[in-house]
Structures are given as structure tokens and as C-alpha cells.
């Protein structure tokens, strides 16, 4: 799980929802491709951002997660090239076309990858958004897949740095486009694993598998229950409108950057906890035996707190699944709020804006609320009665103004489709 800053879209744009919005974005993307490269693309593809309903930082601990895809998507227009050249362009990033030779792609040492850009001024290093699609090409070739060059242009309505997984949307849409252009025939789950490997090994962020799987595998009208150890999946019906409920996303406007070491520190701490407890991963610590496990970590308070969050969060995912299966959707609200407290107090990845959004929403009558995504900024999700949505939104907006914070963007999250070809 991560939402590394991918930089391919406008964070200020709120897109049209659903398939129609993606299709219109596809038309704009095709037109932009023609303007950049002078020819029509071979095809158009889309991959969504996501919100995680419950199960935060559990994916790299072999645990349980439950994301759903957003209507917000990254759209790629692409054509194959026979000459081993990879050209990348984004409508939401400065700097023009990034041109690379696929044979030169190598992971760079350090927290973020640098990719070789052959520009008019000679070879120079380009570290930003282009590392993500370049990493996909590298990962596919490293796996022995017959991938050649390509021209790609991207447009995105997934807000960057908002905890909505803009990076995974960029990775997965690139992987799907190359899969089709080169006739690889890879299943969505395999594309997700390749995308995770690209982000781990090429970009340098030690993320889990959740974000890429959500982008590749979610289905419209469902949340995706994923066991990140064996990658088994279950599509769970999630029709809030039919129950008179709404899920709001509160984008705090606080940007986060997961390549700065904080994410890696927490992952390393979880791994230390697993070693100290003699288990393969923290997923293997039973909730019923949590107190005993915490006693063993009394001399490592920071690690103990991380362990407590992971074990209780896995339990909360199981409780949410049970409530949804029983048709008790409103009963998941307190579990969401408890998850936020755990992320704030034990995992220590919240911030003042996220805490204010959650506390204000709950006080204004929300069924439940929590931060979502990697933390250190980004977004919160708020489960509300449909009739209360406007009042809760106003309360959060007013609270941010009173605190002197940047006004938040609040919009509904409707469970959308995963990655797909548009044309």
C-alpha cells in the first residue's frame, strides 16, 4: 500500500463519475496523443485510483485488505514501437516527452529510481513520475516477457498525494496497455504483481500488493476482499446508495511523499516484530493471543505499537466482512473509526488535518470515519447517511476554515471498475 506522488494528473480536478467519465477522458487522451506524437494511438486504456475501506498497512504483513476502485482514473493512449525506444508524456506533468531506451533501464540505488533521459541537452537524470511506467517496462523485460518500445501519453483525474493510489493507477494502466500491445495474455493478478515489483525494485518504495491489485482487479459495485498472503480474492457487494448511505472522501490537501523513509521505517519495524515473535509475518499473530505477544515486546515499545495496530486491524477487516455479509452495513462505522484511532496512536501516521476531518465528521453525525492510504497526509473516508452528507461536508469544511487549514475537497466514493481497455 502506498500513494507515492506520481504526478500525472491535476489534483484540483473532480472528474465525471463512472464509465462515461472514463470514456470522455479517453477521447481527450487520444486527441492529446495525436498532438504530441503526430499519429493516432493503437489503443486507450484506463486504471482507477482506490480508497481502502479497511485494512491499512496490513498488506506487507501478509494480512487482509478491502479496497474499492474509484471512478477517478488514469487513462493511457499508447502505440507499440519496433525500435526499443520508450517515449512517455503526461498531460499533468511539466517537462515534455521523456525518451528512454528500454535496454538502458536499470534500477537506481536509493529511495527513488532515476531513469536515463536522452534529451536534446544530452543524457540527464529524470527521477519523477516517469520512473513508474519505465519501471513496468523494466519489470516485464526482467521477467522474460517480449516487451519492446512504446509511445504513451497519460491523462489522470486521480489526485496525487491524496492517499488514493495515483502511482498504482499509473503502473497498472501501463502494464495493461503493454499486455495488449504485445499480446502477452497476462491475467490481472499477474499484472498487479509485476506492478508491485516495479515499484519495489525500480522506484524504490517497499509497498505491498494492495494498491496494484485494487487497480487491476476491482469490479463495479463491489469492494475487494484480498488475502495478501495467498492473493485469494472475493468481490463483496457494496451498494451504499441502495441502503441510503454514502461514502465521502475528504482530500485534506496535505501532500505526502512515501519515498522519504517513513513508510520503510514502519515496514522494517513490523518485520522486527515478526522476528521477535518467531512468526513469518504479523498476520500469524492470533488476535486472541495479542496480549501475550505484546508482553514479549515490552522492551521495544515502538515495535509493540506497530504490532498492536497490525493484529487489531486484521481483526477489524474480518469484522467488517462479517457485518457486510450479514447485511449490517451501518455496523461497520465504529470499526472504521476504531481503525483511525489505531493508525493515529499506534502506527503514528495521521496528521492534524486527518484527525480534524475524522473527529468533526463523527461529531456531525457520520456513521464512521478513518484516514485511508499510506498516511502523513492524504485523505479520510467518511461513511454517512445519505440525508446527512451535506451537513457533514459543511461541518468538515467549516472546521478546516476555523483551524486555518487549506480547504478540503470532499467528493463521493462510488465503487467503480478496475483496469480495462477503452478503445
CA-nearest of 181, 223, 216 to 195 is: 216
Backbone torsions φ then ψ of 224, nearest 5 degrees: -105, 110
Residues 6 or more apart in contact with residue 322 via CB below 8 angstroms: none
Helix ranges, 326-370 (H): 333-345, 352-363
Backbone torsions φ then ψ of 48, nearest 5 degrees: -90, 160
Q: In what order do the strands lie in the sheet with 245-251?
A: 368-372, 379-385, 245-251, 409-412
Exposed, middle or buried: residue 292 (CB in 10 Å: 0-12, 13-18, 19+)? exposed
Backbone torsions φ then ψ of 320, nearest 5 degrees: -65, -45
Dist. CA 174–CA 183, nearest whole Å: 14
Q: How many CA atoms lie within 13 A of 280 on its CB side?
A: 5
Cβ-contact 115, 136 below 8 angstroms: no
The one catalytic residue in 59, 211, 305, 388 is 211
Length of the chain: 423
211 as an active site residue: the answer is yes
DSSP secondary structure string, 276-314?
HHT-SSGGGS-GGGHHHHHHHTTT-HHHHHHHHHHHHHH
Q: CA–CA distance from 239 to each of 150, 246, 298 (Å)? A: 39, 9, 43
Residues 6 or more apart in contact with residue 334 via CB below 8 angstroms: 368
Residues 6 or more apart in contact with residue 274 via CB below 8 angstroms: 61, 280, 281, 282, 284
Residues marked active site are found at 211
Amino acid at each position: 500500500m502506498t500513494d507515492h506522488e506520481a504526478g500525472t494528473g491535476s489534483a484540483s480536478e473532480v472528474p465525471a463519475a463512472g464509465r462515461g467519465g472514463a470514456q470522455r477522458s479517453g477521447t481527450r487522451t487520444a486527441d492529446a496523443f495525436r498532438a504530441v506524437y503526430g499519429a493516432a494511438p493503437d489503443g486507450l486504456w484506463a486504471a482507477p485510483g482506490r480508497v481502502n475501506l479497511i485494512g491499512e498497512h496490513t498488506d506487507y504483513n501478509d494480512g487482509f485488505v478491502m479496497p474499492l476502485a474509484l471512478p477517478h482514473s488514469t487513462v493511457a493512449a499508447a502505440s507499440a514501437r519496433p525500435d526499443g525506444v520508450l517515449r512517455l508524456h503526461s498531460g499533468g506533468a511539466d517537462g515534455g516527452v521523456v525518451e528512454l531506451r528500454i535496454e538502458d533501464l536499470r534500477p537506481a540505488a536509493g529511495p527513488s529510481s532515476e531513469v536515463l533521459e536522452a534529451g536534446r541537452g544530452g543524457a540527464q537524470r529524470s527521477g519523477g513520475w516517469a520512473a513508474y511506467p519505465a519501471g513496468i517496462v523494466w519489470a516485464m523485460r526482467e521477467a522474460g516477457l517480449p516487451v519492446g518500445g512504446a509511445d504513451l501519453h497519460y491523462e489522470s483525474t486521480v489526485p496525487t498525494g491524496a492517499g488514493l493510489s495515483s502511482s498504482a493507477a499509473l503502473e497498472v494502466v501501463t502494464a495493461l496497455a503493454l499486455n495488449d500491445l504485445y499480446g502477452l495474455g497476462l491475467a490481472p493478478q499477474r499484472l498487479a504483481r509485476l506492478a508491485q515489483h516495479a515499484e519495489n525494485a525500480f522506484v524504490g518504495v517497499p509497498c505491498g500488493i494492495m494498491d496494484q491489485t485494487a487497480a487491476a482487479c476491482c469490479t463495479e459495485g463491489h469492494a475487494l476482499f484480498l488475502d495478501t498472503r495467498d492473493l485469494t480474492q472475493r468481490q463483496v457487494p457494496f451498494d451504499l446508495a441502495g441502503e441510503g448511505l454514502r461514502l465521502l472522501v475528504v482530500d485534506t490537501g496535505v501532500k505526502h511523499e512515501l519515498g522519504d523513509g517513513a513508510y520503510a521505517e514502519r515496514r522494517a519495524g513490523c518485520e522486527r516484530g515478526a522476528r521477535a515473535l518467531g512468526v513469518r509475518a504479523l498476520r500469524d499473530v492470533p488476535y486472541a493471543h495479542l496480549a501475550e505477544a505484546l508482553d514479549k515486546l515490552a522492551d521495544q515499545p515502538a515495535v509493540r505499537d506497530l504490532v498492536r495496530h497490525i493484529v487489531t486491524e486484521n481483526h477489524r477487516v474480518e469484522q467488517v466482512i462479517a457485518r457486510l455479509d450479514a447485511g449490517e452495513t451501518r455496523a461497520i462505522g465504529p470499526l472504521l473509526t476504531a481503525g483511525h484511532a489505531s493508525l493515529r496512536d499506534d502506527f503514528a501516521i495521521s496528521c492534524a488535518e486527518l484527525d480534524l476531518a475524522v473527529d468533526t465528521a463523527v461529531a456531525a453525525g457520520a456513521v464512521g470515519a478513518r484516514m485511508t492510504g499510506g498516511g502523513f497526509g492524504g485523505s479520510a473516508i467518511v461513511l454517512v447517511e445519505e440525508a446527512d452528507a451535506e451537513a457533514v461536508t459543511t461541518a468538515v469544511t467549516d472546521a478546516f476554515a476555523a483551524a486555518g487549514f487549506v480547504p478540503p475537497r470532499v467528493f463521493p466514493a462510488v465503487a467503480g471498475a478496475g483496469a480495462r481497455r477503452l478503445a
